[in-house]
Amino acid sequence: MIRLIVNGRPVEVDDEPSTPLLYVLRDTLELNGAKFGCGLGQCGACTVLVEGAAVFSCVVPVGDLAGQRITTVEGLGTRERPGALQHAFIEEQAAQCGYCTAGMIMRAQGLLERNASPTDEEIRAALEPNLCRCGTHLRIVRAVRRAAEARQRAVASGLSSLGRAG
C-alpha cells in the first residue's frame, strides 16, 4: 500500500510503485481532471501539484510520492463553488477545447502559491511548459492575472479567496 494525501485527504492505493501518478489519479481514485496528453511529460495536460510544485503526473511513479501532498484541479473547487483560478478561467473564457485547462490551472496555482503578484512575463514563463493548441494563451494569462488580483484584494480585506475547497 502506498499512502498519499490527495486534495487534503489521506488515501492508500494498492497500485504498483512504478505506475504513473496520472493512472492512479484517474483509474484508482477516479479523479479525471488531469488528462493524458502525450505520456512523455511534454504537453502539460496531466499537470498536478506535488507538495506545491507543478509536475507532469504522466511521468512520475506513484511509489516516489509516498506520504506527499498531491493537489489536483478537483482540490481547488467544485462546479458550484469554483476556486479563484477556476472562476477566473470561466470569467475570461480561457478554455476553448478545454483539454489543457486543468493542467494550466494547476501550473498557475503553483505559481500563485509562491508568487502572489506575478508579472505577465512571470505568468508566461511559469505556464511555458504547458501547451495549448487552441491559442487561448492571452485569455489564460488574463485569467491568472485576474486570480492574482482577486487574491490581493481578498488579502487586503482580510480574506483568502485562493484557498482550496474541501
93-116 burial code (b ≥16 CB/10 A, e <16):
ebbeeebbbbbbbbbbbbbbeeee
Q: Which amino acid, 91?
A: E
Task: Read off the pLDDT band of 69 (50, 70, 90).
Answer: very high
Q: How many domains does the chain have?
A: 2
Per-residue pLDDT, 165: 47
d(CA 147, CA 126): 15
Q: Would you say 82 and 90 are in contact if contact means Cβ atoms under 8 Å apart?
A: yes
Task: Report residue 78: phi and psi, to 5°.
Answer: -125, 175
What is the three-class DSSP state of 104?
helix
- pTM exceeds 0.85, yes or no: yes
What is the three-class DSSP state of 154?
helix
My answer on whether 32 and 89 are in the same domain is no
**CA dist 51 to 83, 109, 118, 156, Å?**
19, 12, 20, 26
Tell me the per-residue pLDDT of 51-66, one tens digit each, with 9 for 90 and over.
999 999 999 999 999 9
My answer on whether 60 and 6 are in the same domain is yes
Q: What is the CATH number of the domain that holds 89?
A: 1.10.150.120
Angle at 32 between CA 11 and CA 165, to 5 degrees: 65
Residue 100 domain-assigned (yes or no): yes
Which residue segment(s) compose the domain that 24 sits in? 2-75
Tell me the per-residue pLDDT of 11-22, one tens digit each, with 9 for 90 and over.
999 999 999 999
